[in-house]
Amino acid sequence: MTTTAATASTSTSPSNIRTLIGTGIGNAVEWYDWAIYATFAPFFSSQLFSNADPTSAILSTLAIFAVGFVARPFGGFVFGWIGDRIGRKSSMTLAVGLAALGSLLIGIAPTFQAVGFWASLLLLVARLIQGLAHGGELPSSQTYLSEMAPKEKRGFWATLIYTSGTVGILAGTLLGAVLTGVLSKDAMAAWGWRVPFLIGAALGLYALIMRARLKETDAFEQESTAEKREPMWPQIVRHRKQALQVIGLTVGLTVIYYIWGVVAPTYAATALKMDRGAALWASLVAMVVFIAVLPLWGKLSDRFGRKPVMVASAVGSALFHFPMTWLLKDSPWQLAVSMSVMLIFIAGSAAIVPAVYAELFPTKIRTVGVGVPYSICVAAFGGTAPYLQTWLGSIDLGNMFNVYAVALLVISALCVFTVPETKGKDLTH
């Protein structure tokens, strides 16, 4: 059998199909759990905080959204250590279980009216748990998937991370659109917002079982048989350049993605006074576009290289951000078009960065090497983006936030030129 035929055979084997399903379902559930917080924040903010001041309640809810990001670097380190010392599979399984627990706590949380500040405290604890889990999910699942993929198709396989993640966001958004259409505003505020969190908890349990049945990667198995394993901290220090490159590549993507891929419907409904249900339906159209173009970018990176794709993504996002912001006013079609255009360019980086990150580090430090800097960057920039956008908009300085987002995209584009071309790299070393 030729090498090409062998690769085609192994890439479609039952074991690899289970790998794709188990990784994809777990990642979708993680992103679903993480994103429904932003989607349903306007509904539960007055339930878990004092409703004396609605603006203060929504800002407090978004602040806790940011606090959840603070836990992500700790999650990146803890789950990264588990991934590099115990196994990628163990790290992935534990991460999805914790995320489900966080959703369960939010779903059953008592109201502020019933227990006072304890309701807000429980929400904070739940988001910290989810922050830990999400901080570990992405690096462990990205590393696992990259190591399991055929090296000549790794860019295409890597698209599963954001494809499945967006499916999770899509499911949460669709559920939000259906619930707002079926239930009255009073019903949504009273109990409807709990439904998606309880569903997330149940799906998380299923994903946990799926992941527990996966096999470990060959790259980790080979590394774990080494007679002497070097302590982790010296390795982290030695690979500090790669860690800084992860931050540089991520900083623009994380902010622009959270602007257009996560909080745009909420922003349109709260700041632009768009009908909430219509905004959610418009975002569904854009998410479908995003999912459709992800594999195309992945295949392009396998053929032409990672660096051209990342540069095109960052530069395109920077060039179109202001025009799409100006287009977005108060109409659902404007939201659908602006989100779709931006997500086409954002998809370029989102599709392949899981592969790029894994290709920057050796096997023995791959999970924690990616997890810690990535989580720090997402916490510092992605986690604060919704709050900054809302706050600056409330004081008529919304354009400052847009300048900030474009500047970060320029930084990411420049950072691409500092990394080596890693297309087709062997990850068993």
Looking at the predicted structure, is the pLDDT value of residue 1 above 80?
no
State whether the Cα torsion 150-154-156-161 is positive or negative. positive
Which pLDDT band, with edges at 50, 70 and 90, does 393 fall under?
Answer: confident
The neighbour count for residue 99, using CB atoms within 10 Å, is: 31
d(CA 354, CA 88): 14
DSSP 8-class letter at 111: P
State whether the Cα torsion 188-192-196-201 is positive or negative. positive
Looking at domain 19-214+238-416, what is its CATH homologous superfamily?
A: MFS general substrate transporter like domains (1.20.1250.20)
Looking at the predicted structure, is the pLDDT value of residue 192 above 70?
yes
Looking at the predicted structure, is the pLDDT value of residue 311 above 50?
yes
Average pLDDT over residues 217-235: 75
Out of 3-12, 59-68, 221-230, 295-304, least confident range: 3-12
d(CA 352, CA 295): 9
Average pLDDT over residues 259-285: 84
Highest mean pLDDT among 2-11, 20-29, 171-180: 20-29
d(CA 138, CA 162): 10
Looking at the predicted structure, is the pLDDT value of residue 391 above 90?
no
Q: Contact at 8 Å (CB) between 94 and 139?
A: no
* Alpha helices per DSSP H over 49-184: 54-70, 72-85, 88-107, 112-115, 117-148, 154-182
Three-class secondary structure of residue 49 per DSSP: coil
pLDDT of residue 61: 67
Task: Share the mean pLDDT of the chain.
Answer: 85
Average pLDDT over residues 301-319: 96
Q: What percentage of the chain carries pLDDT values higher than 70? A: 91
Out of 1-15, 92-106, 230-244, 337-351, least confident range: 1-15
Can you give the C-alpha Rg of the chain in angstroms? 21
d(CA 122, CA 118): 6
Dihedral Cα 411, 413, 419, 421, nearest 10 deg: 170
Could you read off the pLDDT of 17-63 as tens digits, one per residue? 888 888 898 889 888 887 787 778 777 777 777 666 566 566 666 66
d(CA 110, CA 152): 51
For 172, 286, 391, the CA distances from 129, given in Å and listed in that order, are 19, 30, 26
Question: Of 229 and 22, which is predicted with more confidence?
Answer: 22
Out of 139-143, 213-217, 264-268, least confident range: 264-268
- Report the 3 state secondary structure along 289-310: HHHHHHHHHHHHHHHHCHHHHH
Q: What percentage of the chain carries pLDDT values higher than 90? A: 39
The full set of domain ranges for the chain reads 19-214+238-416
d(CA 370, CA 368): 5
